[in-house]
Structure 1
């Protein structure tokens, strides 16, 4: 080590003062460049949030944000880079929400001159540093509940793509399922049910919500209280995620077997909503009697047997003095299936006959040919006379 130091001392002694100064400058410049590179690398690491996606290039997320914002029912001020928030502003305007945009990039003060005093302020930046989080905290101390951030609005919706990547969904596309969850499109023609039986302010029990797409339609149509009955854990999880993400406060999910659900345990409802489930019952008459015990208004939608589909002869089931044409439905272990090994497809006339014999008026909502599972798909409302 001593020899090495002597060598460098001799080298510096032999060089001119100008050469030594130049060598020192080069060393300091290299160190400065290295420090700058380290800072730049650190900044790049912190330029993205690990759980929030690129909001401005994924249309469903802008729809999610708009959905959250419109619940405030006040004029909205979007704070951020104008080129990014322009699209969100247009979505809100299309929803008849009064909205203003304001160029803002983490200034500690907000100039709200000329803007409505009751405006809800939405920070359209994702905080990525301690300073930025402190700015948000400081602004919230000034504006309290008037101020929120995109981060808070979006975070609940990150559950959806995560769930879709982990669980089987009937609707696998995030954009498509968003239209159902937001009530922009009905997953099935339940708006036609609403035409003959207005759902607003009704107490409803739904069997087999699957992933909550029909549940969303019922919420959109204004049901007052909705109890969802589900026996498959994966479907219960998907429905709970939708309830949480979209703040369906009037929806309760209960894990139970369809055959265990009757008025003795659950009371009565304005409407039973049983879409795509009756043929998953291994004891169909018990299930249908349970429905009658729960309400004087029963909506059923489901596959029905025809002479051609499914293949094979009818099996005649006798119940309460009547005969019913059915074909066995063999279940598979899949999230859209029942939890029992078999169920029964009824002939559509005999399924409606069950309710007619119990003094229900049957109103057909839709009657369509089907090419999978069974040959017909029937939807009807049975209404007690």
Structure 2
């Protein structure tokens, strides 16, 4: 009896060792950083992989979200960050963090699926990663953009997913993806989702006109200072990045700036509107951005009412004024150029100029409410 028990024990041990070895063999290869070149297939980076019906994150690839995200034709976004072992970003209270060489930021644009070939026009509440990744039967993947920090600076790479959602290929010239957006009320509208070409990426990420170098836009302290639903529970992102070794020099979250969530019913109207304008417009309309010559600065740091458009005459808007006199007329959103341009889908008029083909109705309403609540007149 004792011999049989010992035999069974040895067999169990051997089976455990075999299973462990198989598990090790089945583990995906580590993330690969390319110091040069432009890999044709997203899979070559080993950041994300399609497995068991899900889009999964590799080891060390950390998801994150923003308090108020950029609007992109109602697309939802899965954002991730990866850095080489032992490297960390340097904290900055105002600007995007200073990321080390080897950093890879990814942003996957997707839509919840509707009936037939439609996708849902819905607010982005952050990616649902329960089960280990995005469930592909419930989403339509469109593209994954990479921002890669090389020694000479950042490079942007747009990868477009095939219809089978098995592969994403580099599309340096961009691509136009026709979609049909369906709202909760059942009404639908066409959208020509534009995957930007590499030059257009610089239109948003070239936030400093002096250097004209690409820079990240989203990963700033005020945007990351929020909780995220990680596998092991909710945790503040700044604290988690610090604990993971991805961030150095950060204060406790309560001492860091925090942007408002533009959809938070409990947040002040001014804070929500300013957060929305900052992320959608402020990277261009700032003292150092490509839109600085307009004199309209919509970044978070600007406080001067005239710079924010209040009773401000346009400099060179042309057709973009819609025969309106001022950028922002207190109490009168319909007389404000800002609202007129947000409501337009004419490429010669609309703002932002890139990243959308449909009107963000909810965003426009927020800015309308903000202007309507302001007191005073333009004389």
| TM-score when normalising by structure 1 | 0.29
Higher helix share: 1
Which protein, 1 or 2, shows the higher relative CO under an 8 Å CA cutoff with sep ≥ 6?
Answer: 2
| TM-score when normalising by structure 2 | 0.30
